[in-house]
Amino acid sequence: MSTVRWRLSEYLEQRGLTAYGLAKASGIERMGTVYRIARQGHEPARVDLPTLARILDGLYSLTGEEVQLTDILEYVPDRASKKALPAQHQD
């Protein structure tokens, strides 16, 4: 089965940021939410879209960089369960 995994801990580490700083910058009142998302290997399977948007806003506030979903989330396809796709014809 394919999965989507969090890359937030890697993103924070690469930029010398902390979950605490992100929680403050994002305005998320329940700091535990940010800590869980940023804890590699123990990330939650579900996060609502407003929380995700606040995390992206917080990261932008901290870095001044545009942040894309692919910066903090990664799609990991399960190649073994994929059916072979039909060959595409080129004209």
Q: What is the CATH number of the domain that holds 29?
A: 1.10.260
Q: Rounded to two decimals, what is the model's pTM?
A: 0.80
Is 76 part of a structural domain of the chain?
no
| Number of independent structural domains in the chain | 1
Tell me the pLDDT tens digit for each residue of 14-24: 999 999 999 99
Domain containing 54: what range?
Answer: 3-71
Angle between helices 49-63 and 31-38 (to 10 degrees): 80
Residue type, 79: R
The whole-number pLDDT of residue 46 equals 87
Pairwise CA distance, residues 43 & 56, whole Å? 16
Pairwise CA distance, residues 22 & 61, whole Å? 9
Could you tell me the two tokens for 32?
């535990």
Is 85 part of a structural domain of the chain?
no
Tell me the pLDDT tens digit for each residue of 22-79: 999 999 989 999 999 999 888 888 889 999 999 999 999 999 999 999 999 999 998 8
